[in-house]
Amino acid sequence: MGLPRTSVCHFFTVIALVGFCLNAAYGKITSVYVRADVKAVDMPLDADVFRVPPGYNAPQQVHITQGDHDGKAVIVSWVTTEHRGSSEVIYWKEHSRKHYKAKGEVTTYKYYTYSSGFIHHTTLKNLEYNTKYYYQVGIGHTIRTFWFITPPPVGDFPYTFGLIGDLGQSFDSNNTLTHYEQNPSKGQTVLFVGDLSYADNYPNHDNVRWDTWGRFVERSVAYQPWIWTAGNHEIDFAPEIGEGEPFKPFTHRYPTPYKASNSTAPFWYSIKRGPAYIIVLASYSAYGKYTPQYKWLEEELPKVNRSETPWLIVLMHSPWYNSYNYHYMEGETMRVMYEPWFVKYKVDLVFAGHVHAYERSERVSNIAYNIVNGLCQPISDQSAPVYITIGDGGNLEGLATNMTQPQPHYSAFREASFGHATLEIKNRTHARYGWHRNQDGFAFEADSMWFHNRVWYPVEDSAVSKS
């Protein structure tokens, strides 16, 4: 004998609601959502999403990113395999017959026994804002045509970012990307918080998996820029097989516009995009005092003009505030170095990955400690950012399910599910944020918030999800 099915459902619903409410009463939520415990598995090499485009020397792995500091340039990258081919890009504005040409450059690299294809990078400059451009690559052989839409001018304009991290190339990764594409929020640019292909999980870092990843994500990143952050899976440091140059595949394949922000390395840099000033930091490059990254950030933060770009967003790979038993405190040394600056300059939001789960923090800081005063607890601080861990893209390493208990007070919402998020900046005061888990419908937000700008409307953000 058992309970009728509906009664069982009601029973579990009640238990779930009780659990939710008990936590919510304390302002903290560890989601009670229960997902199927299935291991994430990489898609096989013959998966349709890895298909090589047809045609002689057809460009593949086409991707774009911002190419300057203020959003009027785009770097177009692609790979040809049979022949070096042309690095020229032909592009034009929608409804215009005037065609432009840009010349680029080609690079190759070897990694252990792997030899890359011809990797092309061409920058399209002096683009008009808010404009749809078509572009063609593969000139002289097989031409492929794509398009992108440039951002609004730098200033107080609405704009929507997607947030994806630790994506990899598993069946779950594909699910995450599909959910992002189908999300009615319509992300216009992806802020990617590191760990792209996970090729380094294969024997000798099989770089064929960098190629498959490039073909997999082309369906999004050929049409809208992804802003790159370097994660630990981009390091590819393997001296045991003679590969001692860190970040070799990543730097050859995924350029960043770092020189435009006076950075000296592609792993830390900044861009302006519409209403946002975005600073990308490098968790795996030196960041201590006197280092190039430290000196750059020290000079960079005072340059941010919040009248011009109301929203200040920081991307990094290793999170500072994380309450999972994975990578716990790995971001601590960088937090100690830079957190006082984040509070001083009123960073609105910090997005990180690395931990393969989702978590959103309260607005907290932990900057009072001076070794002898004992003040080493995170405290509520409305000048501090909200820290969001969005490393739940779905890679083959699987979910981080083991959380520290009890949930620390700095943690507002946490759930071990694959997914992505969107940030809809509406104006200089309000931004709507939503986290989507892959098991739900495309429009469903499992965690949603209105964030208020720290300079223009620094009211207390409610800690508890509106969902």
- Tell which one of 42, 70, 195, 236 touches Fe ion (CB under 5 A): 195
Name the one residue in this structure whose structure tokens are 């704009």.
159
CA atoms within 13 A on the CB side of 9: 3
Residue 150 interacts with Fe ion (CB under 5 A): yes or no: no
Sequence length of the chain is 467
- Choose which of 176, 224, 232, 322 interacts with Fe ion (CB under 5 A): 232
Q: Which residue is nearest to Fe ion (CB)?
A: 354
Q: Is the peptide bond before 239 cis (omega within 30 degrees of 0)?
A: no
- Those residues with Cβ within 8 angstroms of residue 408's Cβ, 6 or more apart along the chain or in another chain: 323, 378
Rounded least distance, CB 166 to Fe ion, Å? 6
Structure tokens at 443: 């429009």
Establish if 165 lies at the interface with Fe ion (CB under 5 A): no
The least CB distance from residue 354 to Fe ion, in Å, is 4
Q: Which is nearer to Fe ion, 123 or 232 (CB)?
A: 232
Sheet containing 144-149: give its strands across: 99-102, 89-93, 132-137, 144-149
Pick from 69, 354, 360, 437: which binds Fe ion (CB under 5 A)? 354
**Shortest Cβ distance from residue 393 to Fe ion (Å)?**
10
- Extract the runs of DSSP E, i.e. beta strands, from 344-465: 349-352, 358-365, 379-380, 386-390, 411-415, 419-425, 430-437, 447-452
Q: Among 178, 104, 180, 174, which residue's Cα sits nearest to residue 135?
A: 104
Cα 409 to Cα 334: distance, rounded to the nearest angstrom: 21
Minimal distance, residue 173 CB to Fe ion, in Å: 14
Question: Minimal distance in Å, beta carbon 180 to Fe ion?
Answer: 19
Minimum distance between the CB of residue 390 and Fe ion, rounded to whole angstroms? Answer: 12
236 near Fe ion (CB under 5 A): no
Q: Which is nearer to Fe ion, 325 or 462 (CB)?
A: 325
Q: Is 436 a catalytic residue?
A: no
Structure tokens given for 113: 């026994």
> Under a CB-based contact definition with an 8 Å cutoff, are residues 54 and 246 in contact?
no
Contacts of 209 (CB under 8 A, 6+ apart): 42, 169, 197, 198, 199, 202
- How far apart are alpha carbons 93 and 135 in whole angstroms? 9
Residue 416: name the closest of 444, 446, 442, 387 by CA. Answer: 446
Q: Which of 121, 327, 354, 356 is the catalytic position?
A: 327
Count of residues of this chain found to bind Fe ion when the rule CB under 5 A is applied: 4
Q: Which stretch, 50-58, 60-68, 79-87, 346-354, contacts Fe ion (CB under 5 A)? A: 346-354
Residue pair 79/53 in contact (Cβ under 8 Å)? The answer is no
Joined tokens for residue 167: 């994506």
Q: Which is nearer to Fe ion, 164 or 304 (CB)?
A: 164
User: Binding residue for Fe ion (CB under 5 A) from 231, 274, 385, 434?
Assistant: 231
Q: Which stretch binds Fe ion (CB under 5 A): 23-31, 106-114, 282-290, 352-360?
A: 352-360
Q: Which residues of this protein are in contact with Fe ion, per CB under 5 A?
A: 195, 231-232, 354
**Which residues are catalytically annotated?**
327
